[in-house]
Each structure stands twice: as structure tokens, then as C-alpha cells.
Amino acid sequence: MRRLSLMVLAVLVGLGGAMTATDVLAKKYELTRNNVQKPEDVDSATVSLYGVRLGDPEIEAVEMLVNEKISGVRAEQEGVFVLLWDQSNPTGAMAGVQILDGRVTLIFINNRFVHKTRGIFRRVLTAQSAKEIRELLGPEDFGDENVMGAMLNYQSKGFLVNYLGRDINVEFTLP
């Protein structure tokens, strides 16, 4: 009996170690806190906006973004979106999430959110050209560039960058 319990304990410790190793490999990137600078460390599955991650239930997203007070941010739910507005310059939503089928399916930020963003996406949101974004993030999986701007799709990492001159948008989805 004692031998069986020791074996069960060893298996549980082994599983716990494997889960910890997986968690360590996937660096979490809170857009407003963490200073992740390497593009290879960015994966949409680990990105969060004020604690809300892709796949989170709608109730948690609304609780964290709308019901909790975020300093300097006005949040409101409009249809399938929870939009975040800068209280000092409310010209348009600066970030938000899309909720479909009761789950967060998209996180977006744009250049109005640059003062709140940390890490590599602060530099992306202030880029002066699509070429500069490529220098920061590396070559995209596929994209489209025309006179109006560029769409840089990093599908393997789960994000898309729309560069439209002064307007830059980043959308995170699960790959």
C-alpha cells in the first residue's frame, strides 16, 4: 500500500513539473505591464489586456474591464465589443475585446493606446513605416501592401498589424 502511494506521489510530482515547464516556456505578456521585447516571445495565447486573455468567458471579461475601475480609462460594452477609451482624450476607442459565443475571441489595441502599452508593441504602435514594423517583428507570414498602407499578418503568432500611415492597429486572435 505504501509503495502504491509513493508511486502515485511520484507521478503527480512529475506531472506538476511538466506543467510548470510548460508555463515557464509560455511567457505571459500583459500589454500594460510586461516589457517583452523579443518578437519570438509574443504569442497571442499568452497576451492579456488588463488581465483579460483570449478564450476567457464573457462574464470575466466584463467584470475585469467594465465593472473594475481602470485608472484613466472609460470602458463600455457596445454589442459584441468591450471598448476602452482614454478619459483624457476620448477621440476613439484605444483598445478592447470582441466577445462571441460567450468567449473573448479578439483583443485589439491601436496607436491611441501607446501610452499604456509596454514592450515591443509600444514600438510597433509608434512605427513610422511598415518596414520599421517588419524590422521589429520580423517578416510576416503573409501580408498586403498598397498605397493606403499595409496589412502584416503574423498568423503563426496569432496577431495582425494594420499600418495605415498615422493609424496603427494590432489584433490578437488565437492561431
**What is the layout of strands, in order, in the sheet containing 81-86?**
73-78, 81-86, 93-100, 103-110, 167-172, 159-164, 149-154, 142-146
**CB-CB contact of 35 with 119 (8 Å):** yes
Alpha carbons 21 and 8: distance in angstroms, whole number:
20
What are the boundaries of each domain within the chain?
Answer: 28-127+165-172
Can you tell me whether residue 23 is helix, strand or coil?
Answer: helix
Query: Residue 93's closest CA among 49, 139, 148?
Result: 49
What one-letter code names the amino acid at 6?
Answer: L
Q: List alpha helices for 34-129, DSSP H.
A: 58-62, 120-125
- Write out the chain's pLDDT in tens, 175 residues: 444 444 434 444 444 444 333 344 456 899 999 999 999 999 999 999 999 999 999 999 999 999 999 999 999 999 999 999 999 888 899 999 999 999 999 999 999 999 999 999 999 999 999 999 999 999 999 989 887 899 999 999 999 999 998 899 999 999 8
